[in-house]
Amino acid sequence: MIALSLSEIAVAVDGELRLGGSVATGETLVSGLVHTDSRDVEPGDVFVAKPGEFTDGHLFASSAVENGAALLIVERPLDLSAPQIVVGDAVGALGALAAEVVARVRAHGRLRIVGVTGSNGKTTTKNLLRTVLERVGSTIAPRASFNNEVGAPLTMLELTDDTEFLVSEMGASGVGEIARLIRMARPDIGVVLKVGLAHAGEFGGIDATVEAKAEMVVDLLEMDVAVLNADDPLVAPMADRTQARVVWFGIGPSAVVRASDVRVTARGTSFVLHLSSGESRPVMFRVLGEHHVMNALATAAVSEVLGVPIDDIVAALESVELAERWRMQVMGGANGVTVINDAYNASPDSMTAALKTLAQIAGPGRRTVAVLGEMSELGELAGEEHDRIGLLAVRLNISQLVVVGPAARRMHISTINEGSWDGESLYVDTPDEALELLAESVKPGDTVLVKSSNSAGLRFLGDRLGELFS
């Protein structure tokens, strides 16, 4: 974080500064990182005591002080020696502090902010953008999936006076949440990747999802840029809702940043990248799955707007082997067995893309095994969407389907009701049962996909399978 005095922070968060028994004064400067987990605190850092669903950050404030916290932001005074700023809402104070830091860094005139949203692909695109932009300037981007009202401001607070690019991943589970993040850090470039059924149950339907994602671009100014997916019929109309210049990316002819000659293999996806300038280059993109090409195109579009030369864009894209842990992560290798662990998250769109990739990359005569768990947060659409994925597995001729967990069981039922399979779909209740089954049934040369929402916990099953066949 940029250096701010305790008094300046108190004003920014509209809180009451209490110095307690410390030797600090209102003019004491703080420039450490900001945390909501006391275990991450190091000397000079700030700890925000955030009440949580299962616990209360105030219970861990003493640990933060022991670790060297220079300041506590709390909702009630604590009997501790460190300086404290007492606020009415710790999460709100976190956002207010982030907005203050962003405004001060922006005042230097160098900072460019890129906001990224979409139902799928945010984290991959964020990581790709970081890889490209780090080649040309000091870049801050979120760790893991820091994209909500807590994670996004924590990333913003990593800014320093030298930062040139901030990539802000902005997720939401309801209308108004992206708008709230944008008030902290209005993007110069707003990216909308895709609108799908991820979190549709929380949003209240696809129309509400569209409204929420459109918040990324509706308040952009004329000098800003909206980077939109030309191939998504729910994203394309957002062009009529923004004052910003629109840059289209996609596979179709209406995109100005596009890919041609797309070819999917087990080593990745090759394509020819075309920029709006007319320049083009071949790319060997090693992140597995044709669907990730769209994330690469969005990255290229943003990078071109920011003046990154095409050769640097291509070199950065080709340097990335893994988008993020548990996202199309290739593991295994023993006896020719390939394990693809893509169980960090799942929606109908990403599940479809992963199954299509599995079917595309298996070599001739090689078996494909799909180990699938629940797609969460689909609300009333959950039943029919799980049915649809089960039928898709049949139609893609996946050799063996293993469905894990009661919430995903309809996938298994829909496949056996199709009537064309005899024992090619199996159901187990737990990941442990799935591991036992797969340890005995996976054959040399098989390609195994593990895919589910985070809550189903299959990402750890994927890790165990990767170790088993390594």
For residue 118, say whether it is annotated as part of any ligand binding site: yes
For residue 139, say whether it is annotated as part of any ligand binding site: no
What's the pLDDT at 94? 97
SS3 318: helix
Which residues does residue 38 pair with via DSSP β-bridges, in sequence order?
none
Query: What CA–CA distance (Å, rounded) separates 171 from 212?
Result: 9
Place of tokens 């098989």: 446
What's the pLDDT at 203? 56
**What are the tens digits of pLDDT across the range 56-101?**
999 999 999 999 999 999 999 999 989 999 999 999 999 999 999 9
For residue 124, say whether it is annotated as part of any ligand binding site: yes
Domains and CATH numbers, the chain: 4-88 (3.40.1390.10), 108-319 (3.40.1190.10), 329-468 (3.90.190.20)
Query: What CA–CA distance (Å, rounded) separates 214 from 209?
Result: 9
For residue 122, say whether it is annotated as part of any ligand binding site: yes
For residue 119, say whether it is annotated as part of any ligand binding site: yes
Helix, strand and coil content of the chain, in percent to the nearest 5, comes to: 40, 20, 40
Query: What CA–CA distance (Å, rounded) separates 92 from 90?
Result: 5
- Strand 46-48 and strand 4-5: the pairing is unpaired
Query: What CA–CA distance (Å, rounded) separates 47 from 71?
Result: 6
Picking from 44, 95, 39, 99, the residue whose alpha carbon sits closest to that of residue 69 is 44
List own/partner pairs for 414-421 with CB under 8 A and 24 or more apart.
Answer: 414/386, 414/387, 414/388, 414/390, 415/390, 415/391, 418/390, 418/391, 418/394, 420/394, 421/394
What's the pLDDT at 13? 98
From edge to edge, which strands make up the β-sheet containing 46-48?
A: 16-18, 84-86, 71-74, 46-48, 34-35
Q: How far is CA 405 from the centre of its chain?
A: 25
Which residues does residue 139 pair with via DSSP β-bridges, in sequence order?
165
For residue 131, say whether it is annotated as part of any ligand binding site: no
Residues of the chain with pLDDT under 50: none
Beta strands in 222-347 (DSSP E): 225-229, 245-250, 257-265, 268-274, 280-285, 329-332, 338-341
Q: Find the radius of gyration of the CA atoms of the chain.
A: 24
For residue 356, say whether it is annotated as part of any ligand binding site: no
**What are the tens digits of pLDDT across the range 344-394?**
888 898 999 999 999 999 878 899 999 999 998 888 889 999 999 999 999
Token pair of 236 as six digits: 């394309």
Query: What CA–CA distance (Å, rounded) separates 96 from 105?
Result: 14
Query: What CA–CA distance (Å, rounded) separates 368 from 442?
Result: 10
